Amino acid sequence: MVQYNFKKITVVPPGKDFIDIILSRTQRQTPTVVHKGYAISRIRQFYMRKDHYKLALGQINTARNIIAKISKDYLRLLKYGDSLYRCKCLKVAALGRMCTVVKRISPSLAYLEQIRQHMARLPSIDPNTRTVLICGYPNVGKSSFMNKVTRADVDVQPYAFTTKSLFVGHTDYKYLRYQVIDTPGILDRPFEDRNIIEMCSITALAHLRAAVLFFLDISGSCGYSIAQQAALFHSIKSLFMNKPLVIVCNKTDLQPLEGLSEDDMKLVMEMKAEAMKTITQAVGPNEEGVLLTMSTLTDDGVMAVKNAACERLLEQRVDVKMKSKKMMDCLNRFHVAVPKPRDNKERPVCIPPAVLEARANAAAKEKKKLEKDIENENGGAGVYSASLKKHYILANDEWKEDILPEILDGHNVADFLDPDILVRCEELEREEGLRLEEQAAEDAFQIDGHELTQEQKEILAQIRKKKALLIQEHRMKKRTAESRPIVPRKFDKDRKFTTNRMGRQLSSMGVDPIAAINRARSQSRGRKRERSVSRAAADGDGMEIDGQQSNKKLRRTSRSRSRSRAPEEVIPGEGFKDSEQKKKAIKKAKASTRNRNKDARRGEADRVIPTLKPKHLFSGKRTLGKTSRR
């Protein structure tokens, strides 16, 4: 049985995502592995009456064929590739042509994604299950009836066209599940003048096998007269052919059916006659339950309408199955055996005596009293509260309901309880905390077993306090978004880390900062150009003009320093004895990379994965002997 579930249609990716999928799956392997490429396959076909939808699917099918042809052509070229580098170039060319084809169909892919989203918003209607369809003019009570008989929650408002699409609910009748569909209201006008909302109802009436409930507002509170509603019934009655039909006169709380005028009653009777013709074609002559009355406000007749529609639909489905050839083939396989009397002796129904005795014993046996029975005997819920302690296992059952034993082992328990026990516990905890702090302070002021002076203890305390603050600030930065790499001091715009600041901090702690400041300043380096000038002046090669060296001489010196050396020239510290030994090493290094370069590998990490299962080891029949070589 075909199941239509539009919500399970997979997302249609745009052209850019298709290209990313192709390239990512192709490059996931090593660069030397040759692939056929990615082909779009198994596109799900849907039948719709939109030419744009068919054109989009046609373009995708054409793109798939083009990509398959590109793959076939380049595979033929890959067979004659003389090196892996040539094969890689062919692979790149093939992927480029495939990506160009996919880019051209990007608008079609975007359109198909819009169609998928639109179809996902449609309700999941099963065209083969038992279905009850509700139709009629707007604001006649269709959605109210839907909410009464199903678990659906359709919006109900006192104006027309509140329902703008199909709503699906489910109800049960005789242990069978029925699908109830609420359709938007239909107006009596030409077919070409109806809008999309009305066409939803027309399409459902035309294509679904269902029992139809035509709602009729006999009170006129919907804004349309009975004559207009009757005209609509006669204009769409061709859609009711071969379907169980029930005319439902709604809002009888405002206007009973017996109180209608003669003209309106005549119109209703004519609709009933037309419904009888439709029912005769569907399930045979049956006048009962063709015209029903109800009120969704007072729930009068609501269940009768639902039962009548479900019963008529069930009769029609059973009748269709009984008339089919498949049913006759099944009946020919059954044989019902009916026993025939062998003599004239009467054999009445007999119950064995043992069964009667067991039944009597079971009735005489007292029924076990449950907690619910005890609750009902003592006033019911809210009056009687079940005891949770009655099943406690104690030495004495009298102890079960005790809140706290007063006498234990001959002593009064209350004599051993201090009324200020909580206050005393807090005092003990506070005293223990003070002792722990004193012990920690004593341990903190002792370094390597040597006692410090009072002044050193104060300085050490300040240092540790500062360290604790820095640690706390660092942890707070890690928890927030301020966790960033360390900024070099040359980018320290706020001047947080300076020698002056360090000197002030050391002076406040009673330490002479001169040695630390001089050490920090001595580590700073001069500018590169100044060093080069001073070095040239020391060599005596530079010609000074007014205390400065000539720029021409500086440029000449820098060019001489950057002059390239011969590859075989030995530089001190390289580990070679002479230039001959370095030549041999260079020659061996080139020989080791020759095969790698021929395979078009970028480095040692770009390795070749061989065939893990060679055919000559994993094909053919297995003979006697060991198989460890496999």
Element (H, E) at 446: strand 446-447
In this prediction, residue 424 carries a pLDDT of: 83
Which of 3.40.50.1860, 3.40.190.10, 1.10.4160.10, 1.20.120.1190 would CATH assign to domain 6-118? 1.20.120.1190
Question: 545 or 99, which is more confident?
Answer: 99
In this prediction, residue 286 carries a pLDDT of: 62
Instruction: Using a pLDDT cut of 70, give the percent of the chain over it.
Output: 76
Question: 516 or 448, which is more confident?
Answer: 516
- What is the Cα–Cα distance from 626 to 621, expressed in whole angstroms? 13
In this model, does residue 322 exceed pLDDT 90?
no
Mean pLDDT over 525-552 rounds to: 48
Closest CA to 253 of 223, 306, 217, 226: 217
Task: Decide whether 6-118 matches 126-325 in CATH topology.
Answer: no
In this model, does residue 282 exceed pLDDT 80?
no
Mean pLDDT over 582-601 rounds to: 86
In this prediction, residue 93 carries a pLDDT of: 92
Q: How far, in Å, are 156, 226, 412 from residue 274 at the CA level?
A: 30, 16, 95
In this prediction, residue 497 carries a pLDDT of: 66
In this prediction, residue 626 carries a pLDDT of: 62
Q: Name the burial class of residue 156, with classes exposed (0-12), middle (13-18) and buried (19+) by CB atoms within 10 angstroms of its CB.
A: middle
Q: Name the burial class of residue 62, with classes exposed (0-12), middle (13-18) and buried (19+) by CB atoms within 10 angstroms of its CB.
A: middle
In this model, does residue 397 exceed pLDDT 70?
yes
In this prediction, residue 621 carries a pLDDT of: 64
User: For residue 536, what pLDDT band results from cuts at 50, 70 and 90?
Assistant: very low
Mean pLDDT over 124-140 rounds to: 86
HSE of 106 in the Cβ direction (CA atoms, 13 Å)? 11
pLDDT in tens, 486-515: 656 566 666 666 778 888 888 887 778 888
In this prediction, residue 469 carries a pLDDT of: 85
User: What tokens appear for 445 in the block?
Assistant: 């002021």
Mean pLDDT over 305-312 rounds to: 90
User: For residue 344, what pLDDT band results from cuts at 50, 70 and 90?
Assistant: confident
Lowest mean pLDDT among 154-163, 279-288, 398-407: 279-288
Instruction: Classify each residue of 264-293 as buried b or exposed e, where b means 16 or more C-beta atoms within 10 Å of its C-beta.
Output: beebbeebeebbbebbeebbeeeeebbbbb
pLDDT in tens, 175-224: 889 999 988 888 888 878 888 888 888 888 888 888 999 999 888 888 88
- What is the Cα–Cα distance from 498 to 492, expressed in whole angstroms? 9
In this prediction, residue 67 carries a pLDDT of: 93
Sequence-ordered alpha helix ranges (H) in 284-367: 302-323, 325-331, 353-364
In this prediction, residue 162 carries a pLDDT of: 78
In this model, does residue 544 exceed pLDDT 70?
no
Q: What is the average pLDDT score of the chain?
A: 77
- Phi-psi region for residue 546, left (φ > 0), alpha (ψ -120 to 50) or beta? left
In this model, does residue 543 exceed pLDDT 50?
no
- Phi-psi region for residue 132, left (φ > 0), alpha (ψ -120 to 50) or beta? beta
Cβ distance 180 to 169 under 8 Å?
A: yes
pLDDT in tens, 400-455: 877 766 777 778 877 777 778 888 888 888 888 888 887 777 666 555 445 678 88
- What is the Cα–Cα distance from 387 to 401, expressed in whole angstroms? 9
Strand partners, 549: 544
CATH superfamily of 126-325: P-loop containing nucleotide triphosphate hydrolases (3.40.50.300)
Q: Strand, helix or coil at 527? A: coil
Rounded to the nearest angstrom, the gap between the alpha carbon of residue 480 and the centroid of all alpha carbons in its chain is: 30
Rounded to the nearest angstrom, the gap between the alpha carbon of residue 311 and the centroid of all alpha carbons in its chain is: 41
User: What tokens appear for 227 in the block?
Assistant: 């004559």
Torsion, Cα 561 563 568 573, to 10 degrees, reads: 20
Mean pLDDT over 274-297 rounds to: 75
Place of tokens 């809210």: 382
User: For residue 533, what pLDDT band results from cuts at 50, 70 and 90?
Assistant: very low
pLDDT in tens, 25-43: 555 443 333 334 433 333 3
Please, which residues have CB within 8 angstroms of residue 32's CB and are 6 or more apart in sequence? 84, 87, 88, 599, 600, 601, 606, 608
Instruction: Using a pLDDT cut of 90, give the percent of the chain over it.
Output: 7
Lowest mean pLDDT among 250-259, 472-481, 605-614: 605-614
Mean pLDDT over 542-546 rounds to: 44
Mean pLDDT over 111-129 rounds to: 79
In this prediction, residue 97 carries a pLDDT of: 92
| C-alpha angle 98-104-106 in degrees, rounded to nearest 5 | 105
- Farthest-apart Cα atoms in the chain, separation: 153
- What is the Cα–Cα distance from 110 to 106, expressed in whole angstroms? 6
- What is the Cα–Cα distance from 182 to 80, expressed in whole angstroms? 66
Mean pLDDT over 338-345 rounds to: 84
Question: 280 or 73, which is more confident?
Answer: 73
In this prediction, residue 31 carries a pLDDT of: 39
| Residue 165 DSSP symbol | S
User: What tokens appear for 541 in the block?
Assistant: 């090669």
pLDDT in tens, 60-107: 999 999 999 999 999 999 888 888 888 888 988 999 999 999 999 998
- Domain residue spans of the chain: 6-118, 126-325
Residue 149, Cβ neighbours under 10 Å: how many? Answer: 24
